[in-house]
Amino acid sequence: MASPRRTTLHDVAQEVGVSAKTVSRVLNGDGPTSEATRAKVMAAVDKLGFQPNLMARNMRVGGPDSTVGLIIPDMGNPFFGTVAGGIESAVRERGLTLLMGSSADDPDRERALITTFLGRRVSALMVVPAAAADHGHLRAARTAGMPVVFLDRPGTGLTADSVVSSNRDGTREGTTHLITGGHRRIAFIGDRPATLYTRRERLAGYREALETAHLPYDRSLVLDGHTEAEAAEAVLRVLHSPHPPTAILAANNFAAMGTVRGMVRAGRRDIALVSFDDLPFAEVLEPAITTVAQDPAAIGTAAAEIALARLDGDRTRARTVTVPTRLIPRGSGELPPSA
Amino acid sequence: MASPRRTTLHDVAQEVGVSAKTVSRVLNGDGPTSEATRAKVMAAVDKLGFQPNLMARNMRVGGPDSTVGLIIPDMGNPFFGTVAGGIESAVRERGLTLLMGSSADDPDRERALITTFLGRRVSALMVVPAAAADHGHLRAARTAGMPVVFLDRPGTGLTADSVVSSNRDGTREGTTHLITGGHRRIAFIGDRPATLYTRRERLAGYREALETAHLPYDRSLVLDGHTEAEAAEAVLRVLHSPHPPTAILAANNFAAMGTVRGMVRAGRRDIALVSFDDLPFAEVLEPAITTVAQDPAAIGTAAAEIALARLDGDRTRARTVTVPTRLIPRGSGELPPSA
DNA sequence: CTGAAAGCGCTAACAA
DNA sequence: TTGTTAGCGCTTTCAG
């Protein structure tokens, strides 16, 4: 590992025969510089392949590092990936780069990542909170001027900005869509644990729709499934129960995929389905799946905008931005009750 | 923005009444320290909520920053997201964090990201090369001891380590699977432009399978489609042509989804299909889609292992690691030719 | 076991 | 228009 020392500002200065500060001025377009030296400096920079050390720069300037820390549960999940992409495109213009880590929804890993990010002096911190995590420990950092934004779910133990989907309204709209189609027995299948924020909100929207329509809330129609397989089994069971539903509201896409499989296995293509969160294959299935689409990229950009405003001095109260969902009728939600 | 100054090593030292170096020693378990001071220091650290500034540390130590730079075309794509997750889990134990950016397959954006990452002195650079990018400019960085690993596709203009899927073997296997099932007219539908590395390799695998089976290579059966819609139309056209295929090999998942839609619109459920790259919905469709599954997480970990080995002094020649694909027969590939 | 001085690469503040 | 000095927060080197 006898890697040659990287060329520094001083090397360039020496090459040209000026002071380091002059090179710095040229590179940052800072103070006044003569055309002559400017040209010579640029030539030397090119010749030596000099690349300024951003760590050193950030440190001297004293401000935060030019990164945004982002913690999501799972990088392979396109929902979170798209959120990340939204953030990136919004902060890129400001010269900020994404420092990313995945928590696997594990509070300890989340905490470790946060510690690392704070140590790196990120400009802002964006977190999709792990299920059982507490965020009180972030208070100091926020007081020190570092914006904290929670994504997808509000954080716990700390009042901070957050950006979420309109889970409740979206699910209500989806459920109402089924009711309007004539359904009176509609099952809800959601994630576990039942205390999960998104699960709670979506269930609440489902119940609101039932109430508005004066339909009874039947607990035997509320199903759980943390994996696709579990969801499929739960659906299979309820379809074989004495009083099966004629429609199903799947509260996330694992549940939706499991529901489709369960229906296929039960040989019931006549059950209506609305899925919360859009799926790449929703249009390909037959019938195509009616979905309540979220807008993950918008969640990302909204979060980035809040963080940037905070960095620009916005000191108003913490707010929660709700990104609207959109019902996309495609066919599966339009099946009439057949039971 | 009157954010209070963050507490530093000196603040802690002053609080305890020792020198900064002593605090440093305690925190890094470096030199010898007495139990007494150790305890006092830890107490002060806790009380003041001190978090060492990693930028300063990295700078002083002189080594690279404790980050790995990763550039992918699209964060919302679960394939690349999963690759990223694989990298992260492999480098986390070494205390490295992921610095991520998306190029949108645009050489200029890729270049800008690389410049930023080099400026940050990342420990290693991992790049899914943008289609038309040249990477000769990375030679200097690599000479300076920074590992460069290309993912999914080899880089251009620079001999460096790379990790790719077994595109050719996988496609050959998938095609052979269809041939074994009795098909003699098999269409290939892939990405554009046709010069794309993965497209070329996969087409080559398809042709190899045909040759081995002494089947003619018919250009009219080679289709393009950069989007799902384009793929669907191409499939529709070929199915209505004078000599339609009885099976289709879709070389990526956009093509596969488009193919499914095209078949549905044509009312042809009797066309066999094998798709390169697994799809979340492959199992849900009817018939379930036979796929040649890639292993994106393994691609990520393999890349990380190469980079870490290089950091540990591995100076052997640049190598290309091929991560095997796996044929998953599910039904769509088992349909017999019916034409 | 602990401390003092020097310096990583860069820029702020002043001076020339 | 340019240079000098000092110092960001930390660790290395060398003395105690």
Taking the domains of chain A in order of start, what are their residue ranges? 1-50, 167-294+326-334
B129 — phi, psi (to 5°)?
Answer: -65, 135
Residues 6+ apart with CB under 8 A from A8: A50, A53
Report chain C positions within 7 A of protein CB atoms: 1-5, 7-13
Query: pLDDT digits over B163-217, tens only?
Result: 999 999 999 999 999 999 999 999 999 988 888 999 999 999 999 999 999 999 9
* Residue, of A217 and B24, whose pLDDT is higher: A217
Q: Which of B106, B284, B294, B311 to mutate to test the interface with A (most CBs of A within 10 A)?
A: B284
Whether B59 contacts B30, CB under 8 Å: no
- For residues A321-334, average pLDDT: 96
Residue in A with minimal Cα distance to B104:
A85
Please check whether residue B179 is in contact with residue B237, taking contact to mean a CB–CB distance below 8 angstroms: no
CATH of domain B167-294+326-334: 3.40.50.2300
Q: Give the pLDDT score at A62.
A: 81
Select the more confidently predicted residue: A32 or B293: B293
Contact A116 B54 (CB under 8 A): yes
Residue B307: is its pLDDT beyond 70? yes
pLDDT at B283: 86
- Smallest CA–CA separation between B226 and chain A, in Å? 16
Please tell me the distance from the alpha carbon of residue A6 to that of residue B145, in angstroms, as a whole number.
Answer: 10
Which nucleotide is nearest to B13 if distance is taken from CA to C1'? Answer: C3
Average pLDDT over residues B115-124: 94
- Which among A51, A75, A88 is the nearest to B85, CB-wise? A75
Residue contact A1–B88, C-beta within 8 A: no
DSSP string, A306-334: HHHHHHTT--SPP-EEEEPPEEE--SGGG
pLDDT (tens digit per residue) in A194-206: 889 999 999 999 9
Best mutation target, A102, A284, A330, to test chain B (most B CBs within 10 A): A284
- CATH fold of B1-50, please? 434 Repressor (Amino-terminal Domain) (1.10.260)
Per-residue pLDDT, B49: 86
**Confidence class for position A128, pLDDT limits 50, 70, 90:** very high
d(CA B258, CA B250): 9
Higher pLDDT, B161 or A13: B161
Q: How far is B282 from chain A (nearest CA, A)?
A: 9
